[in-house]
Chains A and B, each alone.
Chain A
C-alpha cells in the first residue's frame, strides 16, 4: 500500500544535487533553515518557496515524489490551523508558517533522496567534527541521526507488511474513508513500532558482527569539493544576508 512512498529512501539519479559534496548540502540546509525561520514577510516566504522548487527541479526527481511525501504533513497543517484559531493567529500568518515548514521539509527530503546513507554520515561527521574538541562523540551522533532518517522507510515497510497481513484477513484499508484508515493505523501502531524496534536491534547485532566500532574508520570515497558546491553555499548565504538586512536591520 505504501510501497511507492520514497520518504527517507535514496533515489538514484544523475543531477548536480546528487553530485554535490554532502558537507555542502548539509551547510545549505542549515543556512536555509535559519533564513526560513528569520523571514517573516510574505514576499520572502514566497521567494524561499520558489527557490526551493527551483532546487528540487535541479535534482531531476519528478516533483510529484516530493508532493507525495508531504501527504504526511496534512495532520500537522490541520493542527497548525486549529492552533492559529485558538491563539488568535491570523489565517494568513498560519499559511506563511506552513510555507516555511514545507520548504524546510522539502530541503530535508531533497537531502535524503539525493544522498546515500554513508555520504550523509560522512557529511555529519565532517560538519560537526569540531565538537570532538569538547569531548562530543560525533561519529555516534552522526550515525544516530542518519539511522533516524532511515528509520522512516523501515516504519513504512513494517506498516506495509502488517497492513498486507491484516488486509488478507479482512481489513479493507484501500477502500476505507480517512477516519477508518486512521483507526486501522492507530490499532496497528504499537505492532509497527514493536517490529521496527526489533529490526533496529537486529541491525545493532549485524553491525557488531561486522566489527563496527566507535573511533576513526577508513573513508574510501572521493568526496571532492566542486565549484558548484561553492556556488550553492554562496547563494544560500547571500539569501540569508539579504533576509537579515531587510527583516532584522530594517
Chain B
C-alpha cells in the first residue's frame, strides 16, 4: 500500500493567535514492506506526521496518498474504516490509548469496530497478547494500572489484533526492559519478513532504530531534512546540525576512523564490530 506525502503543511489552531506551523512542505514516500524510521529532536513534528498518516488530523495544505485514498484538508472519505483497518497506530503514551476498563476490552475494541466475528475476537486477543510476551492472566486487569512496559505491550497488542497492513509506532521501546526490547525488535522483523507489513517507527532511540530500520527520515523544525538508508543518514555531514546523535556503534567506528584512520566498516551488531577490531589488531 503506497504512502506518499505531497507538499503537506500542518498548523495547529489555524487563524487564531495561538496558531503554530508544525509541519512545512513535507514530501516523502514511505517504503513499502520495510521498516521506516522517523527521527528528529523533540518538537520537530514527528507525532503530528503520524497523526496525519492515521487521519486523526487533516493537512492544512497538500495531499497524503494512502493506497487509493487521497487525504486533503476538506475531504470526506466514504467507508473510512476500509482504510483504518489497514493502519494500526500505537500511541507514544499508552495511557492516551486506553479508555476501557480491562485489557480484554481494549484489545477487542478495534476488532469490534472492524466487524470481526466474536469467535475470532476471542482467539485473536490471546494471540495478540502472546505475540507481545504476555499471557491470558492480563485479560481482566485494568490497563491503566499496569507497569509502563506492560501498558506498552497491551497497546501494541490492541493494534496487532486487527492485523493492519501498516503498523505505526510512536516511541515503541520506551519503558521496555532490554529483554522485552529485544523480543519486540524480533517481532518487528518477523512482521516485516513473514507478514510483509510496512512499519513506521518514530523514536529518539538511535541505537534501537539503527538495529532495525531499513530506511530513515530525519525531521528538523517541522521539515524533512534528510532521508536515506541508515548508513547514508548516520554518515551524513549535516547530522550534528540537525541535533541527531549517531548510534553508539557508529559513533565508535566514526571516531576510530577520525583518530586512527582505520575504517572498521558498517556493522549493526557489537559482536561483528569486535571481530573487525580484532582482525585489525592482529
Residues of A within 8 A of B (CB): 3-4, 6, 11-13, 61-62, 65, 161-162, 164-172, 175, 188, 191, 195
Contact = CB atoms under 8 A, between A and B. Distances in A.
A85 B153 CA distance: 55
Contacts of A11: 16-18
B14 A4 contact: yes
Given A188-B99, A195-B99, A172 B81 contact: yes
10 contacts: A3-B12, A13-B17, A164-B56, A167-B56, A168-B84, A168-B89, A169-B158, A169-B159, A170-B109, A172-B80
Contacts of A165: 91, 96-99
Interface of B: 12-18, 51, 54-56, 76-77, 80-81, 84-85, 87, 89, 91, 96-100, 109-110, 112-114, 158-159, 162
Given A165-B91, A165-B96, A188-B99, A170 B84 contact: yes
Most buried by B among A4, A6, A12, A168: A168
Given A169-B158, A169-B162, A175-B76, 14 more contacts: A3-B12, A4-B13, A12-B17, A161-B96, A164-B51, A165-B99, A167-B55, A167-B84, A168-B87, A168-B89, A169-B84, A169-B110, A169-B159, A175-B77
A169 to B, nearest CB: 4
A61 B13 CA distance: 13
Nearest to B15: A62
A62 B13 CA distance: 13
Most buried by A among B16, B99, B114: B99
Contacts of A170: 81, 84-85, 109-110, 112-114
A13 B158 CA distance: 43
Nearest to A175: B76
Contacts of B110: 169-170
A62 B159 CA distance: 41
Contacts of B158: 169
B113 A169 contact: yes
Most buried by B among A166, A169, A172: A169
Contacts of A167: 55-56, 84
B81 A191 contact: no
A4 B14 CA distance: 8
B99 A3 contact: no
A12 B112 CA distance: 43
B85 A191 contact: no
A175 B12 CA distance: 20
B56 A6 contact: no
Contacts of A13: 17
B102 to A, nearest CB: 13
Contacts of B99: 162, 165-166, 188, 191, 195
B156 to A, nearest CB: 13
Nearest to B50: A168
A152 to B, nearest CB: 16
A209 B80 CA distance: 46
A168 B16 contact: no
Given A162-B99, A191-B100, A4 B16 contact: yes
Contacts of A3: 12-13
A164 B76 CA distance: 17
Nearest to B159: A169
B60 to A, nearest CB: 12
A164 B84 CA distance: 12
B76 A168 contact: no
A250 B76 CA distance: 57
Nearest to B14: A4
B148 to A, nearest CB: 16
A13 B99 CA distance: 36
A143 B80 CA distance: 44
A168 B56 contact: yes
B243 to A, nearest CB: 27
A187 to B, nearest CB: 10
A4 B13 CA distance: 5
Contacts of A195: 99
A146 to B, nearest CB: 20
B66 to A, nearest CB: 14
A22 to B, nearest CB: 20
Nearest to A4: B13
